[in-house]
Amino acid sequence: MEYSRKSGVLIHITSFPSEYGVGDLGHPAKLIIDYLRNAHQKLIQILPAGPTEPFFDNSPYSSISAFAINPIFISLEKLVDMGLLKKEDITQFKVEESNFVDYNRVIENKFNAFKIAFKNFKETNDFYQFCEENSYFLDDYSLFVVLKEKFNGKTWQEWPEEFRNRKKEALLLAKESLSEEIRFVKFLQFIAYKQFLEFKDYANNNGIKIIGDIPIYVDLSSADVWANRNLFNLDENGYPIKVAGVPPDYFNEDGQLWGNPIYNWKAHKDTNFDWWIKRFKNLLKITDIIRLDHFRGFVAYYAIERGRPNARIGEWINAPVYEFFDTIKSSLKDMPFIAEDLGLITEDVVEVIKHYKIPNMRVLMFAFDGSPTNGYLPHNYENPTVVYTGTHDHNTCKGWLKFEVPDTSKAYLKSYLGHEPSIDTIHRDLMRLALSSIAYFSIIPIQDVLGFDGTARMNSPGVAHNNWRFRLKTSDLNDDDFAFLKELTDTYGR
């Protein structure tokens, strides 16, 4: 992958401003791209695009599919443009703009609209072609969604045995008896992909590339695990023998018990990593660059026996990392990746990143511990790298300075900036550090571009509820903040 100095903004699709309660791929998406283009930005980074679930607080990092797109991204206005809805059909679903997504209301409203649109939908050659080209995931996914609803939302391990174990006759009968419900799921994916591709075209035509995001693990209760049990380390009942997580560290004495099933890497090798190749190619249809979440898991992963109360006891197991990336590289003909290498990173992970020349991440909020050798400080960067003020898991710059920076760190921060840090301007100070650095890419969360305080953070790790809800109001998009971003971009040659 060719690299040059670029800057961009981190903002998830759900955070776009909208009259319908949540950001979507229609007018809100174009509005954001227009602002970024006028500020001379070349990148927009989003979070994972898969369907989310209320049980997991609608986290984009917890999805029932590694391939499908979240239907709530679908623009109702574009359905009107397609003739599938009338303007009066969607007027009732407008909600007052706020900085908070009410997922329950949004999902109810959107699916009521989708059902009307589906009744008006006439299958076309484009629809048939989409279903055929995407059958590698769409057939299993659509059946999975319908069966999950049929069995009252239970995880697939609790379904009747013939469906849990995918008995051929039972699946064929289900496809026949539930054909209209399956067609509805496929219709939503057809529309979602169509609108996402239009969004990508609009961004690319305005000189902006989209950075997507792949969580390394998938959910146990997903269509992917149900349809590909051999690719995961499961017992005869479909439950994981060992689960994923990370061991205890300075911040968490119990470690992190994620609970995702770990991969059967031998089975992946035996199939020449076909599932992964399809996963990467699928995401690259709608994005240009992929952020690899928890990159160190591709090198070695931490496995914990299922049933343990925490992640204190587990083992590190090596993954076939060089075989994996060599195969991916030969298949994709490129390595359009960013490695999320935050946290405790061992030398073998560093070696892999350097071997494949994959850009890694540097977060300025980690930089000010008082040591001039801190690797997150701009003067210590080595390219290729991507610098952020913070990520979706961090506070905003203002919230960080107000609540999270100890006095000892503030003293070093003052020395580094050359002036006393102020809550009112810290976001602009860190933006300047990021864009002036040698890092090839500089990515600023939209909350920091606009100077939001800590109430606007996207996610608080370890907090179970009320995450992933931040969204912009149209009135939040002010010209002064984007003019400052443009000034920095031009000044530092991005």
Which residues are registered as beta bridge partners of 443? 8, 388
Please name which of 237, 93, 268 lies closest in space to residue 165, comparing C-alpha atoms. Answer: 237
Question: Is 363 within 8 Å of 391 (Cβ atoms)?
Answer: yes
Q: In what order do the strands lie in the sheet with 256-261?
A: 256-261, 242-246, 300-305, 315-318
Q: Is 443 helix (H, G, I), strand (E, B) or coil?
A: strand
- Do 186 and 142 touch, CB atoms closer than 8 A? yes
Residues 25 and 54: their CA atoms lie apart, in Å, by 21
From the list 29, 12, 7, 5, the residue with the least C-alpha distance to 446 is 12
* Catalytic hit among 181, 393, 453, 487: 393
| 252 phi/psi in degrees, rounded to 5 | -145, 110
Is 235 marked active-site? no
**Distance separating alpha carbons of residues 484 and 7, to the nearest angstrom:** 13
Q: Is the dihedral of CA 216, 220, 221, 225 positive or negative?
A: positive
Count of helices and strands (H, E) across the chain: 19, 12
Question: Is the backbone peptide bond immediately before 384 cis, with ω within 30 degrees of 0?
Answer: yes
Verify whether residue 429 is a known catalytic residue: no
Pairing of β 242-246 and β 43-45? unpaired
Choose among 392, 389, 302: nearest CA to 346.
Answer: 302
Yes or no: say if 237 and 220 are a contact pair by the CB < 8 Å rule: no
CA dist 321 and 381 (Å) reads 25
Long-range contact pairs involving 311-315 (C-beta distance under 8 Å, separation at least 24): 311/245, 311/246, 311/247, 311/248, 311/254, 311/255, 311/256, 311/257, 312/247, 312/248, 312/253, 312/254, 312/255, 314/242, 314/245, 314/247, 314/255
Given the residues 24, 140, 219, 340, select the one marked as catalytic.
340
**Does the annotation count 34 as an active-site position?**
no
Which of 24, 140, 213, 293 is an active site residue?
293
| Residues with catalytic function | 293, 340, 393
